[in-house]
Structure 1
Amino acid sequence: MIIETLLLLFAKGALLGLIVTAPPGPIATLCINRSLHRGFGSGAAIGIGAALGDACYALVAAAGLAMVSVIVDDYSLPIAAAGGALLIFLGIRDLMTPPAGALQVGARDLLRTIASTFLLAISNPGALLSFGGLFAGLGLVDGKTVTEVASIVIGVFFGAMVWWTALSAAVNLARDRISSDLTLLIRRISGGLIIAFGTVVLGFAARLLLA
Structure 2
Amino acid sequence: MAVLEAATTVLAGAVFGLAIAAPPGPMNAIIAEESVLRGWTAGFWAGLGALIADACFFVLAVVGAVAVVERFPIVRGLAFAIGGALMLYFAYTAARDATASTDEVTPEGSRGFRKAFVLALTNPYQIVFWLTVGVGLLEPGRIDVLAALPSVGEALSGVLVVSTGSPTLLVGFFAGIVVWIVGFPATLVAAERRATSVGPTVAYASAIVLAVFGLIFLGEATSVLGGSFPLV
Q: Give the structure-1-normalised TM-score.
A: 0.78
1:124 counterpart letter in structure 2: N
Instruction: Output the CA distance in 2 between the equivalents of 1:76 and 1:53.
Output: 17
Q: Does 1:198 align with 2:214?
A: yes
Answering whether residue 140 of structure 2 is matched by residue 142 of structure 1, we say yes
Aligned equivalent of 1:164: 181
- Aligned Cα RMSD in Å? 3.1
CA contact (8 A) 1:31 1:168 kept: yes
- Residues 10-52 of structure 1: CA deviation (Å, up to 9, x unaligned): 5565444323212221111221122111111111111101111
1:91 deviates by 1.3
Larger CA deviation: 50-59 vs 149-158: 149-158
Give the letter for the 1:118 counterpart.
F
Normalising by structure 2, report the TM-score. Answer: 0.72
The residue that corresponds to 1:18 in the other structure is 18
Show structure 1 runs of 5+ residues with no match: none
**2-structure distance, mates of 1:45, 1:137:** 28
Rg: which structure is higher?
2
Gaps of 5+ in 2: 142-164, 228-232
Relative contact order higher in (CA < 8 Å, ≥ 6 apart): 1
1:189 is the counterpart of 2:205: yes
**2:96 corresponds to which letter in structure 1?**
M
Q: 2: distance between equivalents of 1:115 and 1:2?
A: 41
Deviates most, 61-70 or 169-178: 61-70
Identical-pair percentage: 26
- The equivalent residue for 2:34 is 34
Query: Structure 1: how far apart are the matches of 2:11 and 2:84?
Result: 33
Could you say which structure has the higher helix fraction? 1
How many residues get paired? Answer: 202
CA contact (8 A) 2:79 2:123 kept: yes
Instruction: State the partner residue of 2:125.
Output: 126
Q: After the TM superposition, which of the residue ranges 90-99 and 69-78 deviates more from structure 2?
A: 69-78
